[in-house]
Amino acid sequence: MKLLRYGPPGAEKPGLLDGEGGLRDLSAEVADIAGEALTPAGIARLRALDPRALPRVEGNPRLGPCVTGVGKFMAIGLNYADHAAEAGMAPPAEPVLFSKYPSAMCGPNDEVIIPRGSVKTDWEVELGVVIGRPGRHIPESDALAHVAGYCVVNDVSERSLQLEGTGQWVKGKSCDTFAPTGPWLVTADEVPDPQNLRLWLEVDGHRYQDGSTATMIFGVARLISYLSGLFTLHPGDIISTGTPPGVGMGVKPAPVYLRPGQVMRLGVEGLGEQRLRTVAEP
C-alpha cells in the first residue's frame, strides 16, 4: 500500500494510490497520514479498504511530505563505508546520530531553497524509515515489526554550516526545504528486505549517486534497536538511514555543489522518485 498526502502546503489531504496508479482520497477515513494511522491497527484498517470505493482525485495535484506530525526526524551519518571514505572519515564504531528539524520537510517535487550566501549546498539520497509501533529497548530481532513503512528522503546539507565554524550538523541539515520526503510511504509489507534496495541521484541528468542499502554499516533493524535504547520511538518518527557515495562534497578533483536553477532527480527502488528544482532564497 502506498500512502501519500496531496494538496497545497499546509493544507494537504491524506490519500493512497490504487492498483492502477490513480490517486484516491482518504479524508473520510483518516484525519492524516500521521500518528494512529501509522500504527499496525491503523495500517490494517486502511489496508482493508477497497481503493475503488474511495473518491478519485482528478488532475495532477502537488504531493506533500508523505507523513506529518513527525515528532523526531533522526538521521544517521557516515552509514556507508565508501561514503565515509569519500568524506575522509573512518567508518564509525556505532551509529552517528543527528537531527533534522521536521520544519525542513517538504514535498518530493517542491523547490529546494539554497540559503542566502550558501556556496556548499549538497545532496544525499537516503532510505527513510517511518515508525509505526512504539517501543523502547527494542530487540534487533523484533525491530522491523516496528516499521510502518519506507520512503525516499533527500538529506539536503549545507556543508559550511555543517562542518565549518562551530561545526554543528543540525544547523547544516535543517534549513527550510532540506528534507524532501516521499512521494509516498510504502507500507512495510511491500518491502520484504530493506537491505536490498538500489538508490540513486542525478543533478541535471548527471548521475552522481548509485548505490545499494546492502552496503550500510548499520542496517535498519540495528538502527531501530540502537535508537530505541536512547529514547522511545513513536508512530510517525522518521529515521533517515544514511547515504551512499557520490555526494557533491566528495567529487574529485574538486567538490561540486548545487546552484539555483538545477534539477535533482532521485529515487529508491520500489519507493518512487523525487524531482526537485533548486532556487535561491529571496
pLDDT per residue over 242-255, tens digit each? 999 999 999 999 99
pLDDT per residue over 83-124, tens digit each? 777 777 788 999 999 999 999 999 999 999 999 999 999 999
Cis amide prior to 253 (ω within 30 degrees): yes
| 3-state SS class at 216 | strand
Q: Is the pLDDT of residue 167 over 90?
A: no
| 3-state SS class at 202 | strand
Read off the C-alpha cell for 22: 490513480
List of long-range contacts for 93-99, beta carbons under 8 Å, 24+ apart: 94/218, 94/226, 95/218, 95/222, 95/223, 95/226, 95/227, 97/227, 97/230, 98/74, 98/169, 98/170, 98/173, 99/72, 99/73, 99/74, 99/75, 99/170, 99/173, 99/174
User: Global pTM?
Assistant: 0.97
Q: For the chain, how many structural domains are there in total?
A: 1
User: Does residue 257 fall inside a structural domain?
Assistant: yes
User: Does residue 85 fall inside a structural domain?
Assistant: yes
Residues 6+ apart with CB under 8 A from 219: 194, 195, 213
Kindly calculate the radius of gyration of the chain based on its CA atoms and give it in whole angstroms: 18
User: Averaged over 130-150, what is the pLDDT?
Assistant: 98
User: Does residue 17 fall inside a structural domain?
Assistant: no
Q: Which residue in the block uniquely carries the three cell numbers 539555483?
A: 260
User: Does residue 9 fall inside a structural domain?
Assistant: no
Of the pLDDT bands very low, low, confident and very high (cuts 50, 70, 90), residue 149 is: very high
User: Averaged over 215-223, what is the pLDDT?
Assistant: 97
Where is 106: in which H helix or E strand?
Answer: strand 105-106
User: Averaged over 31-47, what is the pLDDT?
Assistant: 98
Q: Are 74 and 120 in contact (CB under 8 A)?
A: no
Q: Is the pLDDT of residue 224 over 80?
A: yes
Domain of residue 251, CATH code: 3.90.850.10
User: Does residue 271 fall inside a structural domain?
Assistant: yes
| Mean per-residue pLDDT of the chain | 96
What amino acid is encoded at 243 in this protein?
A: T
Residues 6+ apart with CB under 8 A from 37: 14, 30, 31, 43, 46
Q: Are 155 and 100 in contact (CB under 8 A)?
A: yes
In angstroms, the Cα distances linking 83 to 51, 79, 90, 257, 282 are 41, 8, 10, 16, 33
Report the alpha-carbon distance of residue 234 to residue 226 in Å, rounded. Answer: 14
User: Does residue 1 fall inside a structural domain?
Assistant: no
Read off the C-alpha cell for 230: 536512547
pLDDT of 233: 98
User: Averaged over 153-158, what is the pLDDT?
Assistant: 98
Report the alpha-carbon distance of residue 7 to residue 12 in Å, rounded. Answer: 4
pLDDT of 88: 78
Q: Which structural domain, as residue segments, surrounds residue 105?
A: 67-280
Q: Is the pLDDT of residue 82 over 90?
A: no
User: Does residue 39 fall inside a structural domain?
Assistant: no
Q: Is the pLDDT of residue 27 over 80?
A: yes
Report the alpha-carbon distance of residue 112 to residue 270 in Å, rounded. Answer: 23
User: Does residue 61 fall inside a structural domain?
Assistant: no
